[in-house]
Structure 1
Amino acid sequence: MPLPAETLMFAEAAAAGAAVARQGEAVEPALAALVDRLRALDPPLAFTCARGSSDHAATYAKFMFETRLGLPTVSQHPSLASVYGDPAKGARGSAFFAISQSGRSPDLIAATRAAHRAGALVTALVNDPAAPLADEADSVMPLTAGPERSVAATKSYIATLALIARLVAAWTADRALTDALAALPDALAVAWQADWSEALAPLAGARSLFVLGRGSTLAIAQEAALKLKETCALHAEAFSIAEVAHGPMTLVEPGFPVLVFPPHDVDRALIRPVLDTLEAAGARLLIAGEGALPMTGDPHPALAPIVMIQSFYRLANAVALARGRNPDQPPLLNKVTLTR
């Protein structure tokens, strides 16, 4: 079993800041052209289409599009075209965003082709701009994450979130968000050094846990839960903090771990009563930015989730090894998943 700093997951997650820095220059011309087309279209609706970690990034896109653009955003099932033959008639005049690291899954390619033929303005956010998915798009936005060999996506996920934030910043001409994105690589470097080791023992010894977020952080709660499953063989379920009281709360008993990613905007004030209830039930709360999970600086509210997931990836790598798992080689999984 490798040491924590010897895994591919460790090396690739540590490189996320460099990937985001490369992205800033690499996408600028294509981003400006895309924003011109989106503004001219003025779509009444946006679609996202993705699976796995990319679909969690789509959750972040939905939050950003709806709160900052006022643009209703729908997650389209990738199999509508490949299995059910849906011609995507409702996509005409919309903005369609296909999100993928590999750009090679047949279902996603079929869904993107159907949306394009139906009259949507299609954008592919993909790590490999030469992938088949790019051939179906009007615009291709490269993630610039570089090669990623570990099965667990890390730097490519962070690069996707950063690219979505860049798109929104440019579309809305938000100078504060644009400036914060310029500082994001340095913030990610600091976040990678954050000491979350006090959470190692509670997670390494857990049988299951909740991972909670709300609004801007729901996407990273989903991503963190997936990473705990695939790298640590740890049953983790993601919920919105607004939803956990609607049934799942009954599973909480003394010592039950709850990993919390609090939002850094107006939502933050709304989560405390739920956390108090969990604590009263005996839950072991692990809150990003508090106590055992320190967070340095005061990131832009829209980018705070990206900073938090960077610190989490280092923790997940360590938890996997503590549980006797190599995070680079989870059983039954492949780097590229081809689904229909």
Structure 2
Amino acid sequence: MTDHPDGPVDTLMARETAEAPDRCETQIARNADVMREAGQRLRALAPPFAATLARGSSDQAAAFAKILLETRAAIPTLSHAPSIGSLYRATSPLFKGVPLIAISQSGRSPDLIAAAEDAQRQGALLVSIVNDAASPLAEMADICIPIHAGPEKSVAATKSFIGTLVALTHLIAEWSGDEGLKAALPTVGDVLRRAVAADWSDAVPLLRDASNMLVLGRGLTLPIAGEAALKFKETSNLHAEAFSIAEVAHGPMTLIGEGDPVLALGPMDEARAGLRERLEDFRARGAQVIATGHPDDVAAATLALPGQIDVHPIIGAIAQIQSFYGLANALSLARGRNPDKPPHLAKVTRTL
């Protein structure tokens, strides 16, 4: 048990988060043949578009898949709302021959299963990305991609989310034939280990007493910001909302005033354009700006968090959520909460 001024940090969330680098290395090796075959099948299919199906943290992973598919494979990607298939039974016949990427740690959420069944009825190709390879969503898949994260007992998903991002990266590297991304995959374990070691706890005093905040990202890091905002709500009872660095000036910026916290997760590719100027705007409002990203961008922050700039931008975005989970765990404890057992939440959300 590790001591901390605000209490013990050796939670399930902390332990499971720290497992992610090894689990992801194992996943990449074990899934090599599955991913190669899936990539070949999806390239041959040559669909006009792709779709994702998910809820909660998995829907943030789905948004990450959209960015990857549209920037790396030039495939337009939409988010298919589960209720369209599970409640309305109204999945479009235009889904015939279209890959539907269903993402679920448990593979047992009734609404996702029902929506996937309705899409298959219309001829969709179901690609299930799951942690439980014996789950119903896995068994009904045309292509099943296990993330091999191992049992995850904390209600707050961590290693399974990171594993899902890595699996999506691997799949889309093979699907798109992106040789640079394929070459970056073997670096995942080491990049994530450095991300585990990165200490973001200096942000805790700036967030301990906050009631509202913004989390910013753009491109690859916008879904990361979405997951971070969700975890702030879930584990710390902190109302956090995620916005694009480009969109936040269109209204949400007025919510931030003197002393209010803003967390910016800076992208390391073309999407970093304008980040420094936006952070300077927040500082001028008196905001407590916490940021990670390129040193030139985060120089405007109140607190610059350690990050990695010499890595592939996709892997670097995944590393940001790896580091963030350590902050989320420490903040939850500092606010007197148990990150493993958020009130009113369960590991499998059974929605119809």
Q: Where on the TM-score scale, by shorter chain, does this alignment land: which range?
A: over 0.9
Of 145, 151, 158, 1:147 maps to 151
TM-score (norm. length: structure 2):
0.94
What letter matches 2:334 in structure 1? A
- Aligned-residue CA RMSD (Å): 1.4
Distance across 1 between alignment mates of 2:29 and 2:8: 32
Aligned to 2:270, what secondary structure does the other structure show? coil
Q: 1:170-208 CA deviation, whole Å, 9 max, x = no partner? A: 122222212221111111111111111210101112111
Equivalent pair of 1:4/1:317 in contact (CA under 8 Å): no
Distance across 1 between alignment mates of 2:268 and 2:163: 20
- 1:331 counterpart = 2:336: no
Equivalent pair of 1:212/1:259 in contact (CA under 8 Å): yes
Distance across 1 between alignment mates of 2:184 and 2:8: 30
- 1:233 counterpart = 2:237: yes
Distance across 2 between alignment mates of 1:266 and 1:81: 36
Partner of 1:320: 332
Shift of 1:134: 1.5
Shift of 1:88: 3.1
Partner of 1:299: 311
Question: Residues 10 and 126 of structure 1: is their aligned pair in 2 closer, same or farther, counting only changes over 3 Å?
Answer: same
Distance across 2 between alignment mates of 1:283 and 1:20: 36
Q: 1:267-304 CA deviation, whole Å, 9 max, x = no partner? A: 11232222221111111110014454111451201111
Of 267, 275, 285, 1:271 maps to 275
Of 194, 198, 219, 1:215 maps to 219
Distance across 1 between alignment mates of 2:91 and 2:328: 41
* Count of residues paired in the alignment: 340
Equivalent pair of 1:5/1:11 in contact (CA under 8 Å): no
Of 9, 13, 19, 2:17 maps to 13
- 1:120 counterpart = 2:130: no
- 1:98 counterpart = 2:102: yes
Aligned to 1:255, what secondary structure does the other structure show? coil
5+ residue gaps in structure 1? none
TM-score (norm. length: structure 1):
0.97
Distance across 2 between alignment mates of 1:66 and 1:241: 19
Equivalent pair of 1:48/1:97 in contact (CA under 8 Å): yes
Equivalent pair of 2:154/2:341 in contact (CA under 8 Å): yes
Equivalent pair of 2:13/2:154 in contact (CA under 8 Å): yes
Shift of 1:250: 0.7
Of 195, 199, 222, 1:195 maps to 199
Aligned to 1:302, what secondary structure does the other structure show? helix
Shift of 1:84: 1.1
Shift of 1:4: 4.1
Distance across 1 between alignment mates of 2:158 and 2:77: 25
Indicate the larger mover: 31-40 or 6-15: 31-40
Distance across 1 between alignment mates of 2:109 and 2:252: 33
Distance across 1 between alignment mates of 2:196 and 2:324: 8
Q: 1:30-60 CA deviation, whole Å, 9 max, x = no partner? A: 1111112101110111000000000000010
Aligned to 2:148, what secondary structure does the other structure show? coil
Shift of 1:120: 1.5
Partner of 1:173: 177
Equivalent pair of 2:221/2:265 in contact (CA under 8 Å): yes
